[in-house]
Amino acid sequence: MKPVIGYAGMTHLGINSAAAAAAYGFQTVCFDPDEDLIDRLKQGKIPVIEPGLNEIIGSQASRLTFSSHHEALHACQVIYIAADVATDEQGRSDLTQIQGLITRVVPNLSSSAILVVLCQVPPGFTRNLVVSKDRLFYQVETLIFGQAVERAMSPERFIVGCEVPERELPASYKTFLDAFSCPVLPMKYESAELAKISINCCLVGMISVANTLAELCERIGADWREIVPALRLDKRIGPHAYLSPGLGIAGGNLERDLTTVCNLAEEYGTDAEVVRSWMHNSRYRKDWVLRMFHREVLPRDTCSEIAILGLAYKENTHSTKNSPSLALIAHLKDWALRVYDPVVDGSEVDHPKCTRADSPLEAVRDADVVILMTPWPEFKDVKPADLLQVMRGRTVIDPFQILPGRECESLGFQYISLGQRQYRRDQ
Amino acid sequence: MFVHHHSIPSPPTRVVVIGAGGFVGGAIVKQLTGEGIPILSLTRKEVDLLETDASKKLKSFLRPTDSVVLVSALAPAKTVTMLMQNLQMAEAVCHVLCSTEIHHLLYISSDAVYADDANPVRENSPVAPTTLHGMMHAARELMLKSSTQAPVACLRPTLIYGAQDPHSGYGPNRFRREAAKGGPVHIFGDGEEQRDHVMVNDVAKLVSLALSYRSEGALNAVTGVSTAFRIIAEMVARQFGVEVKSQPRPGPRPHLLHRFFDITNTLKAFPTFHFTPIKQGLDLVKQGMT
């Protein structure tokens, strides 16, 4: 018989994970103490944007029970603590919310229920919980904003922190994990907690390599796009390596893990200088567009109006945590802005001369410069010929190469993107 | 980087420039005067910071509403004696600041406070001077910050050029003087070392901006563009119609071939300010000479 799965904490992590559990045929209880949130979820109003999420929740309604009463979890054999852990500006976690959640949930565990911590917690957190260790586990989450459903439905593996890794997992928990048909890797609590951080460090390391070498490409005339396929064919690097240069890490989760490593290194006297360098590189990259605007645009063109496409920190998400777009806008207060984002409403924008547009083309009308700050798929529909018609100026800053650069240049635009030398109109 | 105490620029009530008679001090006075800002120019004639009564004299000039610019220095400080003299001058100012209220202090420091290999140099690059001159500025920054309750801005210029430059060090100033005498303009070796050169007028404009925003912290007064000495020599030679000639280096090729700066913090601190490109700056300097 299939166990009933419970999720406590209906944030991004909890909602997507619960949807995946239901999609695999498990009765799923979704608990959050926020009554308003639960009411909205019952009405099908999902507070996060993820491709495919609304469809799953709609199709699995019969398996999903939403409740703001923790007693509802009593029916579950496996209960996940699945609330996202908020971070401050320094990337430090605020664990008080999930500690409060655990305090509520533990008294409602049935005698045979398993408690699994799925949140982003620092090493040592799980072992310190006052819960019987033979029924306490930590499971690594590898949610990616914008791909959360896909990741929850098709995990590469489950990394499970245990008191005794050699001991077989409880039947209910094993049944649930086996449904996903992927490897299960039991290990010590601390190893699993650090595995999560290790994964993110590897990703940031790759991103930092891409950023560093892409900047060099911009100076020496190489093209990072030409180099990447060669790297992906190297078995030691791999086809899915994070090799796209960007505007600094954002979203909060990677930053959190880097901060945790630095804090642990400070506490235990290990060397984390390379991690600090990654953080430094990330801050540096965040200002790439600002530097290009001042270096490549202002010396040549009078610029009175700037169009900014994209406010979210990446595509397919509503999140603006550490968004490069908002960081840029903060330093453009002397220019008039018109912004457009398909999802973010712009209320976070703090700017004295900023107006919101309802479409990309409306945003760019009469603009001197257009800057594509988020690689939303719909921006690919913007045609350079349309820009030519409606824009006043002839500069496109497109870090992620959403628009066809050569076509832009052939139409007379100065086209500026990451990882390739900037060719000016006068060159 | 700079943090502004004024979100909207507001002209200072009065600016006291200590070291107004020098190359940089003179440019600051000219800039502020042009903006109609009341100034009290103090030269060695009014207050000699090496005299025993320097603190007493300086104190008598200051008001609580004054913005003070300290640009006075015996530069470059090449010897231990010069280092100590410069610190003694700063000590005299610090004695005054400890017991006198002022509105704002701006200190003209130097990029020599950074380590030689801090490429690209930013304001958060480690302060690790390798010369007595750099150590002098680093020590003075700390002395001043620890002596006043007022916000302290440290502006750290790199190689400054301008018509009135008194040093004629290797670079635009010496090249121009050689060219003006009929040339040739001499470079060492191939002159391939790239350095950032900032026009003195731009330093003065940054001072004005920092005063009007009542900025606090450190900011590099650098253009963000590094140019080879040979390129600059050729620009100057063309201006005067003379030749560039290579001569052997006086010593070994420098360990640090190039020095670059990241000026992101300047773009954020003063978004509408732009440095004068080197070619344009050299033209302006030549016009100033004629």
Distance between alpha carbon A133 and the CA centroid of its chain, in Å?
A: 31
CB A325 within 8 A of CB A256: no
pTM of the model: 0.87
Helix, strand, or coil (residue B153): strand
Structure tokens at B193: 């070392």
Number of residues assigned to chain B:
290
Average pLDDT for B261-283: 95
User: B285 vs chain A: nearest CA distance in angstroms?
Assistant: 20
Backbone dihedral region for residue A123 (phi beyond 0: left; psi -120 to 50: alpha; all else: beta): beta
Closest in B267, B271, B277 to A291, CB measured: B267
- pLDDT at position B187 is 95
User: At B59, which helix (H) or strand (E)?
Assistant: helix B54-61
Mean pLDDT by 10 residues, chain A (427 residues): 94 94 96 95 90 93 94 94 86 87 89 93 94 94 88 95 96 96 97 95 96 93 94 96 92 89 94 96 95 89 90 90 93 95 89 93 96 95 96 95 94 92 60
What does the pLDDT look like over A293-335, one tens digit per residue?
999 888 877 788 999 999 999 998 888 988 999 999 999 999 9
What pLDDT score was predicted for residue A87?
A: 83
Q: Which of A291, A299, A333 sits opposite B264 (nearest CB)?
A: A291
CA distance B35 to chain A (A): 21
Candidates A148, A78, A154, A152; CA nearest to A114 is A78
Determine phi and psi for A255, rounding to 5 degrees.
-60, -40
**Count of domains for chain B:** 1
Q: Which long-range contacts (CB under 8 A, 24 or more apart) does A383-392 make?
A: A384/A408, A384/A411, A384/A413, A385/A411, A386/A361, A387/A411, A387/A413, A388/A412, A388/A413, A390/A361, A390/A364, A390/A365, A390/A366, A391/A307, A391/A364, A391/A365, A391/A366, A391/A367, A392/A305, A392/A366, A392/A367, A392/A368
Tens digit of pLDDT for each residue in B47-102?
999 999 999 999 999 999 999 999 999 989 999 999 999 999 999 999 999 999 99
Interface probe with A: pick from B267, B273, B274, B279, most Cβ of A within 10 Å: B267
Residues of A in contact with B264 (CB under 8 A): 284, 287, 290-291
Q: Domain for residue B208, yes or no?
A: yes
Amino acid code (one letter) for B194: Q
Q: What's the number of CA atoms in the CB half-sphere (13 Å) around residue B149?
A: 6
Rounded CA gap, B111 and B121, in Å? Answer: 9
Residue B156 has pLDDT above 90, yes or no: yes
Q: What is the pLDDT of residue A423?
A: 61
Contact (Cβ atoms closer than 8 angstroms) between residue A199 and residue A395: no
Q: Quick check: B255 pLDDT over 70?
A: no
Q: Is A64 helix (H, G, I), strand (E, B) or coil?
A: strand
Tallying the residues shown for chain A, one arrives at: 427
Chain B nearest CA to A91, separation (Å): 20
When CB atoms are compared, the residue of B262, B264, B272 closest to A334 is B272
**Strands A64-67 and B66-70: what pairing?**
unpaired
Q: Provide the 8-state DSSP code for A295.
A: I
Q: Per the domain annotation, does B278 fall within a domain?
A: no
What residue in A sits closest to B122 (Cα-Cα)? A284
pLDDT at position A21:
96
Q: Which of A284, A290, A333 sits opposite B267 (nearest CB)?
A: A290
Query: Under a CB-based contact definition with an 8 Å cutoff, are residues A86 and A99 in contact?
Result: no
| d(CA B182, nearest CA chain A) in Å | 34
Tokens representing A156 are 């590469």
Of B224, B267, B274, the CB nearest to A331: B267
Domains and CATH numbers, chain A: 5-188 (3.40.50.720), 197-286 (1.10.1040.10), 288-416 (3.40.50.720)
Residue of A nearest to B277 (CA): A299
Spatial contact of A311 and A349, defined as CB atoms under 8 Å apart: yes
B272 contact residues in A (CB cutoff 8 A): 334
Of the pLDDT bands very low, low, confident and very high (cuts 50, 70, 90), residue B288 is: confident
* Cβ contact, residue pair B271, A299, below 8 Å: no
Which pLDDT score, from 0 to 100, does residue A111 have? Answer: 87
Which amino acid, A408?
C
* φ, ψ at A332 (rounded to 5°): -120, 35
Chain A residues with CB under 8 Å of B268 CB are 287, 290, 331
Closest residue, chain A, to B269 (C-alpha): A331
Burial tier of B16 (Cβ tally within 10 Å: 0-12, 13-18, 19+): buried
User: Cβ contact (<8 Å) for B271 and A334?
Assistant: yes
Taking CA–CA distances from B276, the nearest residue in chain A reads: A299
All residues of chain A having their beta carbon less than 8 Å from the beta carbon of residue B274 are 294, 298-299
Beta carbons of A331 and B268 less than 8 Å apart? yes
Residue B121: give the domain boundaries.
2-159+197-222+260-268
Q: Which of chain A's residues have a Cβ under 8 Å away from the Cβ of B271?
A: 294, 331-334
Q: Name the residue type at position A160.
A: V
Q: Is residue B116 part of a domain?
A: yes
Q: Could you tell me which chain A residue has the CA closest to the CA of B273?
A: A294
Structural domain includes residue B247: no
Cα A84 to Cα A24: distance, rounded to the nearest angstrom: 22
CA dist A164 and A80 (Å) reads 19
Instruction: Pick the residue from chain A with its C-alpha nearest to B263.
Output: A291
Q: What is the ipTM of this complex?
A: 0.86
Which CATH number characterizes residue B126's domain? 3.40.50.720
Q: What is the pLDDT of residue B290?
A: 38
Could you tell me which residues come within 8 angstroms of residue A4 by beta carbon, excluding any fewer than 6 positions away?
Answer: A26, A27, A28, A29, A75, A76, A77, A78
Alpha carbon of residue B11 to chain centroid: 21
Residues of chain A with a CB closer than 8 angstroms to some CB in chain B: 284, 287, 290-291, 294-295, 298-299, 331-334
Contact list, A291 vs chain B (CB under 8 Å): 264, 267
Of B262, B268, B274, the CB nearest to A298: B274
Q: CA angle B68-B72-B76, nearest 5°?
A: 145
Q: Is the pLDDT of residue B289 over 80?
A: no
B245 domain residue, yes or no = no
